[in-house]
A and B are shown apart, each in its own frame.
Chain A
Amino acid sequence: MADEFVLRMEHVSKSFPGVRALHDVSLSVRRGEIHCLVGQNGAGKSTLMKILGGAYRMDGGDILLDGEKMIFPNPHAALKAGISVLYQELALNPCLSATENIFLGREIRTPLGTVNARRQHQEAERLIEPFGVEVDVAVPVEQLTVAQQQIIAIAKALSFRAKVIVLDEPSAVLTVEELGKLFNIMKGLQRDGVAIIYISHRLEEIFEIGDRVTVLRDGEVVGTFRVSDVTQSDLVRMMTGREVVESNGRVEHSAGAPVLEVRNLSRRGVLTDVSLHILAGEIVGVFGLVGAGRTELAHALVGADRSDSGTIILDGKEVKPSSPRHAMRLGIGLVPEDRKRHGLVLGMSVADNSTLTIWEQLSKFGVVNARSLHATAKKSVDELRIKVASLSTLVENLSGGNQQKVVLAKWLATACRVLILDEPTRGVDVGAKTEIHALIRAIAGQGKALLVISSELSEIMAISDRLIVMRKGSIAGEFVPKETTQEDVLACAMGVRVA
Chain B
Amino acid sequence: MLSREVSGSSGLEYKGWRGGRLAAFWTAYKLYIVFGALVVISGLISPRFFTVENIMNLLLRSSFVGLVSLGMTFVILTGGIDLSVGATFAFAGVLLATFQHGFFFRFMPELTAGFEQSRELAPIMPFLPTLLLTLGVGALLGFINGVLVTKAGMPPFVVTLGAMVAIRGLAFTYTAGFPIPGITHEVEWLGAGRVGVLPVPVMIWALVSVACMFVLRSSVFGKKVYAVGGNERASWLSGIDSDRVRIIVYTISGVLATLAGVLMLGRMGAAEPREGAGMEADAIAAAIIGGTSLSGGRGSIAGTVIGALVLGLISNILNLMEVPPYPQQVAKGLIIIAAVLMQGATRRR
Contacts and interface: CB of A to CB of B under 8 A. Distances in A.
Interface of A: 15-17, 50, 53-57, 74-76, 87, 91-93, 101, 104-105, 302, 304, 323-325, 327-329, 334, 336, 341-348, 352, 356-357, 359-360, 363, 366-368, 370, 410, 414
Q: Report whether over half of chain B's contact residues are helix, strand or loop; otherwise say mixed.
A: helix
B8 A356 contact: no
B9 interface: yes
A304 B5 CA distance: 34
B152 interface: no
B230 interface: yes
A173 B76 CA distance: 34
A324 B238 contact: yes
Given A323-B236, A345-B234, A348-B230, 10 more contacts: A56-B8, A57-B13, A74-B5, A92-B1, A104-B2, A341-B231, A343-B237, A347-B231, A348-B297, A356-B238
A17 B226 CA distance: 27
Nearest to A16: B15
A356 B228 CA distance: 11
Contact of A367 (B6, B219, B240, B298): B219
Nearest to B15: A16
Contact of A93 (B1, B15, B237): B1
B6 A75 contact: yes
Interface of B: 1-2, 4-6, 8-9, 12-13, 15-16, 18, 218-221, 223-224, 226-227, 230-231, 233-241, 297-298
Nearest to B1: A91
A344 B6 contact: no
A325 B231 contact: no
B168 to A, nearest CB: 33
Contact of B230 (A16, A75, A345, A367): A345
B222 to A, nearest CB: 8
10 contacts: A15-B16, A53-B5, A75-B5, A304-B237, A325-B240, A328-B239, A342-B237, A345-B230, A352-B223, A357-B239
Contacts of B1: 91-93, 101, 104-105
Given A359-B223, A359-B224, A366-B219, A91 B239 contact: no
Nearest to A339: B234
B241 A91 contact: no
A492 B1 CA distance: 40
A347 B237 contact: no
Contact of A334 (B9, B16, B237): B237
A341 B2 contact: no
B223 A368 contact: yes
A53 B224 CA distance: 39
B220 A366 contact: yes
B5 A346 contact: no
A55 B234 CA distance: 29
A343 B233 CA distance: 8
A92 B4 CA distance: 10
A244 B1 CA distance: 40
Given A55-B8, A56-B9, A359-B223, A17 B16 contact: yes
A238 B226 CA distance: 42
Nearest to A89: B4
Given A341-B233, A347-B298, A366-B220, A54 B238 contact: no
A155 B349 CA distance: 29
B23 to A, nearest CB: 10
Nearest to B17: A17
B218 A367 contact: yes
B240 to A, nearest CB: 7
Nearest to B14: A17
